[in-house]
Amino acid sequence: MGCSSSLPDRTSGRLAGPNIENGGAPDPKNLRVKLVLLGDSGVGKSCIVLRFVRGQFDPTSKVTVGASFLSQTIALQDSTTVKFEIWDTAGQERYAALAPLYYRGAAVAVVVYDITSPDSFTKAQYWVKELQKHGSPDIVMALVGNKADLQEKREVPVQDGIDYAEKNGMFFIETSAKTADNINQLFEEIAKRLPRPPSS
Amino acid sequence: MTELSFNLLHTLEPRRDAYGFALRPQHAQRYREYANIYKEEEGERSDKWKDFLEQIAKSSQPCSSEEEYKERLHAEDTECKAETISESKEGDDSRSGKSISDGSEESDPKKEGQLSKETKTHKLQTWAQIRPSLGAIEKMMSFRVQKRKNMIDERETVNGNHLPSIEEAESLGGASDDEKDCVNETSDDNENATRTEPTPVDEVSPKHFFPWKEELESLVRGGVPKDLRGEVWQAFVGVKARRVERYYQDLVAQEANDGGSKVHDDSSGVFKKWRRQIEKDIPRTFPGHPALDADGRNSLRRVLLAYARHNPSVGYCQAMNFFAGLLLLLMPEENAFWTLVGIIDDYFDGYYTEEMIESQVDQLVFEEVMRERFPKLVNHLDYLGVQVAWISGPWFLSIFVNMLPWESVFRVWDVLLFEGTRVMLFQTALALMELYGPALVTTKDAGDAITLLQSLTGSTFDSSQLVLTACMGFLAVTEARLQELRKKHRPAVLVVVEERSKRGRAWKDSKGLASKLYSFKHDPGSLIEEKECTEGGNNPADGDKSPLESHSSNLDELLNSLNVDSEVDSLPDLQEQVVWLKVELCRLLEEKRGAILRAEELETALMEMVKQDNRRQLSARVELLEQEVTELKQVLADKREQETAMLQVLMRVEQEQRVTEDARIIAEQDAAAQRYAVHVLQEKYEKAMASLAETQKKVVIAESMLEATLQYESGQSKALSSPGYMRILSTSRNDNSTRKMGLLSFGLGWRDKNKGKTTKVEESNESKSTNEGIDPKSSGNETKNEEQET
Ligand SMILES: Nc1nc2c(ncn2[C@@H]2O[C@H](COP(=O)(O)OP(=O)(O)OP(=O)(O)O)[C@@H](O)[C@H]2O)c(=O)[nH]1
Ligand SMILES: [Mg+2]
């Protein structure tokens, strides 16, 4: 699955019949998932979302205040579609007080760190713990090492990420919002790991 | 650097709006449509404001004149020169080269030469007085700053965190000691009057003092003219009353010293954290804005760092970068600093602190107000699983910067800064809900609802409509009401915050302890490094760091400073430095010894931690249960939703029932009418029968007569004997019987027909009454009875 082939069609990707979580059985062919991005400030959460949703990289992205929302639908090979409702949160520590508002009820949490910053890796671990305690029990978690294009500045070895993710039952991937490397793969892999409602 | 350059740039750059901000491509078209409206509005308000200012200048400031202003300006010119900042331009990391210098230092040739070695100094005006025509407004607003200062002096509790209202403040007018300002002359005679009045809120004196207050309010709602905005905002925030001479310069100098040479005190770890965050955020503040070039970014950095020093309980919080950036577009650097101080310390007290308590409280308050005002919309959002705070949270925290089009942001800020409270924040959010609620209720899922609201909000170009809806549509949302609601909701937030900080500490402690014990055993030196990399990742509560943390933080700082200091050779006095270093080294050694002792303590602490683990498990379970409760609540909400759906179905069934009932009544009426008709016919039939009987009687009579006649005739015809006569008579009798038969068959035929009809009605009754659950036989019986009657 190359990046380009998996780029969702932005117009036809919309779901024909949205399935409301609250009422009625979820449509197993058209999933809707709430996804939240967590991680230290400046690790590239907003850039990852913008790359995924708009296909752009803006080296001078805006600081996220509070949180911001974007949604994107992808089609999988088995012809199911997954509509991601993405909450991109603010990274500064004090905004962590507001994070539960956004991760509560989320089906997926993407915890991002910057491979050039050990601090951000520590912060990622904090988020994983917080989610294990307070997130939905069946939440799908992904650990993402971003800015993989900055190999020469790498300070967090790949193996550290792999190990930590494995220990915590997470999916791990290194991405670059700048080069678009692994961005679509990240979301596709998440989609594959979603618990499917029994098809009727 | 400010307004001038924008006006220039925006004419050159079509992809930016009148304020120099980038336009989103999808908004370019609508912006162009509104640009003309904005221009028109701007022209109108310029005139209105000019008239207004002239009028109040005449009435309240007879002695202040533009000449005096110019004079003063001239006098300050020298001061301004003194207050310039020599700035380094050596790329991104200019911290080391940055310093504030006053006139004397600048003339120092040694220093100068040193600086210009690698940096190009240049001067910026950093402070400017606002024009005197705004003096009266400034005066009015300054009272509220004064009042606030008094309030804080009197009681240290900051919970009643709002500026006193203008009315309140005005009545305090006499108390203001605004030196040598000519307005004092007019207010002097009021001084005694106000003093004698015990109540803080005085209905008479504000009018007396500032009879134009209401007019000003309506002008503000109409928008502040662009070229006045920066100064008017300063007047509103009361910059003049807040400003302390050289305070800002001192903060900047302090920061420059600290940032460069790392002087250590307990809080310097925190400063380092803020500094790092500010550095991350500066390039992400209005990226590409023409005013935020290297100089602009340096100003932004200084303002933010100075603020962090000024109020360490807030320090630096993301969002402030946008506020400071915005203010710097409208006013000189120091003015921007004082305006920011006013906004964050007063208007938004408790909002951007480490725990962000007030911002959380406001979200709960807003949700309650929303439920009150827009129950249907909130119901719909509940149904979709959308929480109001998801959307309103970022609105409030950013004060709509980046959320609304710029013209609207400015208009909202105009009112907000004028009022001195956060009421406008609520009113604007409510206005947006009012404007876009109808569209929102048509959405079918959470994502669509949020996307729609975001994009509608982002294209609220009709700023006048927005501001008027906000100000006029929600008059019941007052500061008093909000305070009441805040009081109600604050405890809940405090509980959660407390809970969080405990948890945070537990995590931090356990992690810190474990790794520290480990590294300490292996290599005492690594303790410091470890601290380095966990520091940024750790949780808020820096204020209440455990003694252990701050202790090792000191160590860390010391070591760091040693490293850095040994590298810096440009320090003025090396000898002094060496002495100082020696002292520090001694202290360090002492602390190291202390640390070893600590380590032992830590081991015992670790044991305790293990015990605490149990408690944590318990609290985890409690939280799990809590979660279940929320889930149950969700289910309950779903059930309720289903209930309403059922209710709707029920209502529909009922309606159908009513329709059938109606139909049945009509049918019954029909049947009655038919019964009546049958009755009439019966009567007619009986009459006919009676007349028939009579006719028959007549016939019998006639026959008997005939017979009599016949007998009579036979008596005669015995002689004649004529048979033809007989024949005629018998035919006439036959005739009679056929007539009789015809009537009968008609009557029978009608009855049959009628019977057919009633059965049809019966059938339809039957089919409907199965729906109603009414026994179909009863209505059937009725018709059968009819039949029997017939
Ligand atoms: N080289 C490189 N730089 C990146 C990458 N992703 C993001 N950046 C840079 O990192 C900066 C911060 O990225 P953001 O996406 O704004 O960070 P964030 O995590 O959203 O930060 P907050 O909003 O403060 O929480 C951006 O300005 C980019 O220049 C990447 O994949 N490679
Ligand atoms: Mg962001």
Residues of A in contact with B447 (CB under 8 A): 32, 69, 71, 83, 85
Residues of A in contact with B630 (CB under 8 A): 104
From chain A residues 135-154, the ones with a CB under 8 A of any chain B CB are none
Structure confidence at residue B508 (pLDDT): 54
Q: With a cut of 70, which residues of chain B have pLDDT below it?
A: 1-14, 60-125, 146-210, 259-267, 504-587, 589-618, 712-790
Residues of A in contact with B356 (CB under 8 A): 94-95, 97-98
**Are B450 and A69 inside 8 Å of each other by CB?**
yes
Cα separation, A110 vs A145, in Å, equals 10
**Ligand 1 pocket check for A182: Cβ under 6 Å:** no
**Ligand 1 pocket check for A61: Cβ under 6 Å:** yes
C-alpha gyration radius of chain B: 47
**Nearest-by-Cβ selection for B620 from A58, A67, A133:** A133
The alpha-carbon gap from A120 to the nearest alpha carbon of chain B, in Å, equals: 6
**Ligand 1 pocket check for A42: Cβ under 6 Å:** yes
Cα-to-chain-centroid distance, residue B240: 31
Structure confidence at residue B506 (pLDDT): 61
Higher pLDDT, B166 or A114: A114
**Are B537 and A119 inside 8 Å of each other by CB?**
yes
Q: Among A36, A38, A40, A46, which residue has the most ligand 1 atoms within 8 Å of its CB, making it the best to mutate?
A: A46
Stretch (H or E) spanning A34? strand A30-39
Nearest-by-CA chain A residue for B626 = A134
Residues of A in contact with B499 (CB under 8 A): none
Structure confidence at residue B507 (pLDDT): 55
**Ligand 1 pocket check for A46: Cβ under 6 Å:** yes
Q: Is the pLDDT of residue A101 over 50?
A: yes
All residues at 6 or more sequence positions from B98 whose CB lies less than 8 Å from its CB, including other chains: B87, B88, B256, B259, B298, B302
**Are B536 and A123 inside 8 Å of each other by CB?**
yes
Q: Strands A140-146 and A171-174: what pairing? A: parallel
Q: A180: which 2 tokens?
A: 């678009």
Q: Is the pLDDT of residue A183 over 50?
A: yes
Q: In b/e form, how buried is each residue of B346-365, taking b as 16+ CB within 10 angstroms?
A: bbbbbbbbbbbbbbbbbbbb
Structure confidence at residue B641 (pLDDT): 85
| Chain B interface includes A129 (CB < 8 A) | yes
**Ligand 1 atom 1: the closest Cα is on which residue?**
A147
pLDDT cut 70: percent of chain B above it: 56
Cα dihedral angle (A57, B405, B428, B53), rounded to 10 degrees?
Answer: 140
* Inter-chain contacts counted by CB atoms under 8 A, chains A and B: 146
**Ligand 1 pocket check for A179: Cβ under 6 Å:** no
**Are B383 and A22 inside 8 Å of each other by CB?**
yes
| pTM assigned to the model | 0.63
Q: Tell me if B508 sits within 8 A of B452, measured CB to CB.
A: no
Structure confidence at residue B640 (pLDDT): 85
Structure confidence at residue B744 (pLDDT): 52
Q: Among A50, A61, A117, A119, which residue has the most ligand 1 atoms within 8 Å of its CB, making it the best to mutate?
A: A61
Structure confidence at residue B604 (pLDDT): 58
Residues of B in contact with A58 (CB under 8 A): 287
C-alpha gyration radius of chain A: 16
For residue B30, how many other CB atoms are within 10 A of its CB? 16
Binning pLDDT at 50, 70 and 90, where does residue A107 land?
Answer: very high
Cα separation, A13 vs A73, in Å, equals 6
Mean pLDDT of all residues belonging to chain A:
86
**Ligand 1 pocket check for A44: Cβ under 6 Å:** yes
For residue B159, how many other CB atoms are within 10 A of its CB? 13
Cα separation, B730 vs B722, in Å, equals 15
Structure confidence at residue B607 (pLDDT): 63
Nearest-by-CA chain B residue for A73 = B447
**Nearest-by-Cβ selection for B537 from A62, A70, A122:** A122
Structure confidence at residue B578 (pLDDT): 59
**Ligand 1 atom 8: the closest Cα is on which residue?**
A44
SS3 B16: strand
Query: DSSP states of B654-690 as a string?
Result: HHHHHHHHHHHHHHHHHHHHHHHHHHHHHHHHHHHHH
